[in-house]
Amino acid sequence: MTAWVFTLVVWATATVAGFLGALTGLGGGVVVVPVLALALGVDIKYAIGASLVSVIATSSGAAAAYVKEGYSNIRIGMLLEIATTVGAILGAFLAAHVATHIIAVIFGLVLIHSALQTVVNAGPDSGPPIESDPLAKSLRLASDYPLHGGRQKYGVQNVPAGFGLMFGAGALSGLLGIGSGALKVIAMDRAMKIPFRVSTTTSNFMIGVTAAASAGVYLSRGYIDPRVAMPVMLGVLGGAFLGTKVLMRVRVRTLRVVFAVVIFALAVEMIVSGVRGRI
C-alpha cells in the first residue's frame, strides 16, 4: 500500500484503540501493537515504540477529563507511579535483549489475561464503602467520586500489595509497549478494594507516566519511527477524547465484551505467530 493509505489505516486503527482504551482503562496498546505487527507488517519493536507514544497520548486525552470530573484519585496515582516507573525502566531494558518471537508470545498471554479481566470486571460498583486500613489512612488515600448525582466515599486497603503489583505492571509496560492497564485496575480494584470506576480512571491517569519512563529507552535505541508513531498518537488521542465523553453516560458492558473478544482473537494470532517464528 502507499504511504498515504498506510498512514490512514494506522490512524483509523489507533482511533478505535484509543476509544476502547479510554473506556476500559487498558490503554490503546493492546490493539495497536498486534494490528501494526500482524496486519501491517511493522517490526514488533517499532510497533511497541509507537504504542508507548500512543499510551502517553491516551493518558493525556483521557486522564485530564477524568481528573476534572473528579473520578481519578491523584494521591493514589502518584504513589503507585513510583513502582510502575521503576518497573517500566527495567522492562524497557529487558526488551532490547529478548527475541521478538518471545515478546510476541508474552504479549499474547497478556492479551488473554486482559480479555478475561475485562469481562470479569464488567459489572458496576456495588456494596457499601469500606474503611481504610491504618497505612492508607496515614497516607490519606481515601476520597470520593461522582455517583448518581452525589459523591460516594470510599476507603483503601492493602497498599503494599497494590504497590508490588504495580511494579509488575510497569515491567510489562516497558517490555511490551502497553499501558498494563489490566494489571493496574486489578491491583486497585481487587487488592486495594478501590471502586472499579475509580480504578479505571486512575489507571488512565497513570499509564502515561509509566509509558514515558520506558519510551525514552526505546527512543534512544531508535525504535520510535515518526512515520508510525505520529498517526498512532493522533488517532489514539482523538479516540481517547471520545471515550471519555461516552464512558460515564452509557452502559459499557456490551462494549467490553466485544473488546474482550477482539483482543482475545488478536492474542491467539500473536501467540501462534510467535511460536511459528513469523514475527
Q: Using CA atoms, how far apart are residues 270 and 257, in angstroms rounded to an integer?
A: 20
Domain that holds residue 239: 3-275
The reported pLDDT for the residue numbered 124 is 47
Is residue 56 over pLDDT 70?
yes
Share of the chain above pLDDT 90, in %: 16
Is residue 99 over pLDDT 80?
no
Is residue 257 over pLDDT 80?
no
Burial-class residue 266 by CB neighbours within 10 Å (0-12, 13-18, 19+). Answer: buried
pLDDT tens track for 152-172: 899 999 999 999 989 988 887
Domains in the chain, number: 1
The reported pLDDT for the residue numbered 161 is 92
Q: Using CA atoms, how far apart are residues 137 and 132, in angstroms rounded to an integer?
A: 6
CB 65 within 8 A of CB 241: yes
Q: Find the range with the poorest average confidence among 37-41, 124-128, 143-147, 174-178.
A: 124-128
Is residue 201 over pLDDT 60?
yes
pTM over 0.75: no
**Is pLDDT larger for residue 278 or for residue 87?**
87
Is residue 199 over pLDDT 90?
no
pLDDT tens track for 107-144: 788 778 777 876 775 544 555 667 899 999 999 999 99
